[in-house]
Structure 1
Amino acid sequence: MRLCDWWQGPRLFILVDDYDMVGGGPMTQPFAPLLDHLALGHEVGLHLVVARSSAGAGRGLNEALLRRLQEVNTPGLLMSCPPSEGYLFGSVKGRELVPGRAVRIARRKTLQVQTGLVGDAL
């Protein structure tokens, strides 16, 4: 499955930055057409990367897109986040981390990782 060597079509990468500002309220759900395709994204060449601020992250998990991503066991990367936000990925609670560190959550298993830093081109 990881190699996806059977897939012959195009790959679609959707990058969403500042998801909390996009507007995921009940009247504005710009990603609603994708919700049914997320479970089989690896089979149809669909890749979705969503980034959001840690402020209000606990409340934000009730939005349709983020809830669906959790339902289909999408891996997550939790950067530094105040513990007061509560549980964000199943039984994983936010915590303060040094810059560049993160917790990778995959199928409710956690692993602390160090993210890479790409310097400016000279």
Structure 2
Amino acid sequence: MPPAEVVRRAAAAWDGPPAPPVELLPEHVSVADVERARRRRCPTAPAGLAVGVRERDLAPAELDLVDGGDPHLLVLRDARSGRTTALRTLLSAATDRFTPEELRVVVVDYRRNLLDAVPREHLSGCCASAPAAAGTLAALAEKLTARLPGPEVTVEQLRRRDWWSGPRALVVFDDHELLAMSATDPLSALLDLLPVAGDVGLHVVVARGAGGSAAALVQPVLRRLRDVGSSALLLSGPPDEGAVLHGGRFRARPPGRGQLVTRRSGRDGDVLQVAVTEEPVGLP
């Protein structure tokens, strides 16, 4: 008997309630909707940075960059895949959650897409050229290096990570592939701090194009980010790139749709829809 006929007969014979409809991942969701959904699910528990909605259960998708998770993130994408939206949403979530005394932000943005994405009181620097980025990141590296624990730091302080005070530093570097036209990578000033980022309060987010991203991960800074187990948000990209990071692979996706892969999830990371910092659209 053909499968379609089996289904028809089974449906005709069933007189119980119908199965509930399958809820699909929305193509558009707002930051306000995601925050309301997060508070309904865990109103008192500390949360990561809520950046969108997960496909598997339509729960808020959170990045745990600060609270003991992976301190760094790579955002890999094709053109018009929602990269600017993802970075804006991440910056909005970070500056909403942390005060300027708790978090300061450095933005490296050669194309000037993020000039208004960070409140002035949180902004430590906005660099639109390689020389400006090199100077700003070198100065940041000097400050953070001073936080490295010396011999006077006790075992208890090492466990608590409280031997220094001051704000954490979030560095967001957009269009990193444009460095192919530069002699040096300004992020190299932070190279030795990437493995000990949790000890000095450093968080780095790097966005670059999907094309050639697997090969680009041999560059010193990107290789170090890969080696320390950084998470990656894979937005729409060419499948022929193969395995990119943690076994994750690109797929052609709608704008804002991506897969968050971590060293724990591997290639089975969550598919999510990135929220937009606009008016609510009614997340179920």
**TM value normalised by structure 2:** 0.38
Aligned with residue 114 of structure 1, among 261, 273, 280: 273
The percentage of counterpart residues that share the same residue type is: 34
Offset at residue 24 of structure 1 (A)? 8.0
DSSP-derived class of the 1:66 partner: helix
1:62 equivalent in structure 2? 218
**Alignment check: 8 A CA contact 1:78 1:103 kept:** yes
Offset at residue 35 of structure 1 (A)? 1.3
Offset at residue 30 of structure 1 (A)? 2.2
d(CA) in 2 for partners of 1:113 and 1:42? 26
d(CA) in 2 for partners of 1:5 and 1:30? 27
**Alignment check: 8 A CA contact 2:171 2:203 kept:** yes
Does structure 1 residue 31 correspond to structure 2 residue 190? no
Deviation per residue, 1:48-103 (Å, 9 max, x gap):
11001112212211111111111111111111111011211032221111211111
Q: Does 1 or 2 have the higher relative contact order (CA < 8 Å, sep 6+)?
A: 2
| Range that drifts further, 12-21 or 86-95 | 86-95
Code of the residue aligned with 2:191 in structure 1: it is L
Aligned length: 119
**Alignment check: 8 A CA contact 1:80 1:97 kept:** yes
Bigger Rg, which one: 2
User: What is the CA RMSD across the aligned residues, in angstroms?
Assistant: 2.4
5+ residue gaps, structure 1: none
**TM value normalised by structure 1:** 0.83
> Runs of at least 4 residues of structure 1 off by over 6 A?
none
Does structure 1 residue 99 correspond to structure 2 residue 258? no
Higher helix share: 2
Aligned with residue 50 of structure 1, among 190, 193, 206: 206
| Range that drifts further, 69-78 or 16-25 | 16-25
DSSP-derived class of the 1:20 partner: helix
1:8 equivalent in structure 2? 165
5+ residue gaps, structure 2: 1-65, 69-159, 280-284
1:19 equivalent in structure 2? 176
